[in-house]
Structure 1
């Protein structure tokens, strides 16, 4: 039996199909992945993401510590804003990707569940020599409410201060009210919020949202939505052997000054030497693109890192790592056959609309 989030009983009652995900018993769907996916693209859906690990970083040295630890620069985020970053090893490989929330006097991180133990050990090891405390917050749950009507539907259920926060937040902004942190962030390519809150509060909120017609969504729809939105999944699209530059995450690396972050020298060397590029693929015929399928192009061979059937587009899409200079058309090997694909720039879908460009 895996770990269970505070919402486990709600998932069982709602008829979820549960799977082991990073050691947690999580819902993969509640009957129809497609219906859940479309609910988020057209209205509102909710996800239990309480398996993610919340870590608070406090102390006089917190800023210096995070500027050393992360490839992105926490100074890019003013107080009340969230920042996406990778945490790298000395070779520039991605130990994990995470969100940092910059608060008045400290910082909150949310890291992936499958890398929890590795991350916590790395955070502790790198804290040596800094005046900093790193504390996991296992009592906190996370509920994501996503979709074009997500904020409107959520706001209608909340007390005035929290409802105001939900309606007023800018993208990547967050507000705190008591022990709730409400952030206008997500992993779907739609508007919405993610709420970090005590476990008991999460159970009550989930029930209120369900009663108001917000559809529970599982990991299956979470994956199709994030892939359409061109968002990376740790362990698929990047890992400890892949740098942000090879994973389409160059925008999350702040080289701006001489800040000495872990992995910087390796990334600068890779920039000089050149590296693979990260692209989107669209299958032109029937079939489904999947991770680890081979991509054959005029510039050489590459590999799909994530692939799926896109419910919004009605065709198969993928993210892939390919040789530099790959463009136009390529082929993917599926069950011994070579099928044509178009190379595009992700994201594929944002705010319910097709946005990819060739």
Structure 2
């Protein structure tokens, strides 16, 4: 049975084209996907991400539990309200999911995980939390609205109570604050996002989501669907779980080695496998590609390199850079930006592509070297 977020009627009232997304009825676009993409890059757009899993962890040993659960080190979170991005691994070092964890107290942490892995994540977390006496509480009664773009913070700040606006104006990256909207709804606001733009992700009771959505519409924030969300995140060089990584891939193979903390004395799940792979040599790596010829790079296309064959994982036509971009997994080798000899098989034709650094887009413009 297809699930619906609390904002489903709001999407349909706006004429959204709805599609099945991992068992959820979600908006693909509200008209022009390209216009939605550009509006986020140039102004402010909003996404309903209420399908994502919010899981609260309570208990005196919650930090100790997260030391064991996550590949990144929860001990980096020393200030209440700060957030950490991490992979959650199985014993073989494969990525069960990537998620964000928020430090709300020594006995209270909040996890926001992907929608498609909701049941799997919850079962894994509950399985390992029991030994630490940590209560695992899914918060299905909450909704999430992401507001992204150069004007996003200003538009959201104008909608909170006047005495709390300074709190949001001063909020740093990967930090959170709890404030109230002018309508009185409690808003858990995180300065995070999945577009490469500044903005907020707002968690609130589902009962108040439609009113906040309408207030944002009235403030000039345009709705954006899954299509624009995907092109925006790829321009930002951000991985998509289930496409760029899964249990068959380690963080090192997914370009996420920077999220692995091999801090002394911490035996997290998957650590031994990662150390073994790092010692033996990581066999595959993630590379970013740009194609200057006309056409689109797509998932599943074969990548030909001097080190052997690889595959496009995420590919699209970048509305901001006006050329095809992609993330690909290839055999390990020297694929620093500018590496030569890389091609993509497009319907039997070998088309040259350039290896570049990510992000493809920065501050709303193509990053250096992307436009050729």
Q: TM-score category by the smaller chain?
A: over 0.9
Q: Report what 2:355 is aligned to.
A: 343
How many aligned residue pairs are there?
Answer: 358
> 1:228 and 2:235 equivalent?
yes
| Counterparts of 2:369 and 2:86, CA distance in 1 | 25
What RMSD, in angstroms, separates the aligned Cα atoms of the two structures? Answer: 1.2
Which one is further off, 240-249 or 126-135?
126-135
Q: Which moved more, 1:294-303 or 1:240-249?
A: 294-303
User: C-alpha distance in 2, partners of 1:160/1:318?
Assistant: 43
Instruction: Please give the per-residue CA displacement for 1:177-235, whole angstroms capped at 9, x wherever unaligned.
Output: 37421010000000100011011221111001111111000000000000000000000
- Note the C-alpha offset of 1:326: 3.9
Superposition pairs of residues 9-48 of structure 1, within 5 angstroms? 9-48=9-48
**Which position in structure 2 is the counterpart of 1:110?**
112
Mapped pair 1:239 → 2:236: no
In the TM superposition, what is the alpha-carbon distance from 1:63 to its structure 2 partner?
0.6
CA distance in 2, matches of 1:315, 1:357: 12
Cα deviation digits, residues 52-86 of structure 1 (max 9, x gap): 00000010111111110000111112221110000
Compared with structure 1, are the counterparts of its residues 57 and 357 closer, same or farther at alpha carbon in structure 2 (3 Å cutoff)? farther
What CA distance in whole angstroms lies between the structure 2 residues aligned with 1:332 and 1:132?
48
Matched, 1:53 2:53: yes
What residue is the counterpart of 1:183 in the other structure?
A: 190
Structure 1 residue 162, shift from structure 2 partner = 4.3
Please name the residue that 2:98 is paired with: 97
Runs of 4 or more, structure 1, over 3 Å off, are none
- Match of 1:66, SS state, is helix
Change (3 A) 1:356 1:99: farther
Q: Deviations over 1:271-310 (max 9, x none)?
A: 1111222110001201110111111011211111100000
How far apart, CA to CA, are the structure 1 residues paired with 2:164 and 2:223? Answer: 21
2:137 maps to 1:135: yes
Provide, for residues 242-267 of structure 1, a one-character-per-residue CA deviation record: whole Å limited to 9, x for no partner. Answer: 00000010111111222000000000
What does the per-residue CA deviation read over 1:79-136, in whole Å, with 9 as the maximum and x for residues that have no partner?
2111000000000000000000001231000011111111111011111311210110
2: CA distance, partners of 1:148 / 1:265: 42
Contact conserved, 1:347 with 1:356, CA < 8 A, in 2? no
Q: C-alpha separation between the residues in 1 aligned to 2:119 and 2:368?
A: 37
Aligned with 2:344 (options 332, 335, 351):
332
State the match for 1:280 in structure 2.
288
Any stretches of 5+ residues in structure 1 without a counterpart? none
Q: Is the 8 A contact 1:92 1:266 kept in 2?
A: yes
State how far apart, in whole Å, the 2-side matches of 1:339 and 1:76 are.
Answer: 44
Give the CA deviation at 1:161.
4.4
Structure 2 residue corresponding to 1:146, chosen from 116, 127, 148: 148
Q: Is the 8 A contact 1:344 1:356 kept in 2?
A: no
In 2 relative to 1, CA 356–62 (structure 1 residues): closer, same or farther, beyond 3 Å? farther
Output the CA distance in 2 between the equivalents of 1:163 and 1:20.
37
Under a length normalisation based on structure 2, what TM-score does the superposition of the two structures give?
A: 0.94
Unaligned runs of 5+ in 2: 181-185
Q: Do the aligned partners of 2:160 and 2:179 also contact (CA within 8 Å) in 1?
A: no
Partner of 2:321: 313
Give the one of 290, 308, 312 matched to 1:304: 312
Partner secondary structure for residue 103 of structure 1: strand
Does the 8 Å CA contact 1:295/1:322 hold for their aligned counterparts?
yes
- Residues in 2 aligned to 1:156 and 1:128: alpha-carbon distance in whole angstroms: 43
Report if the CA contact (8 A) 1:166-1:193 is conserved.
no
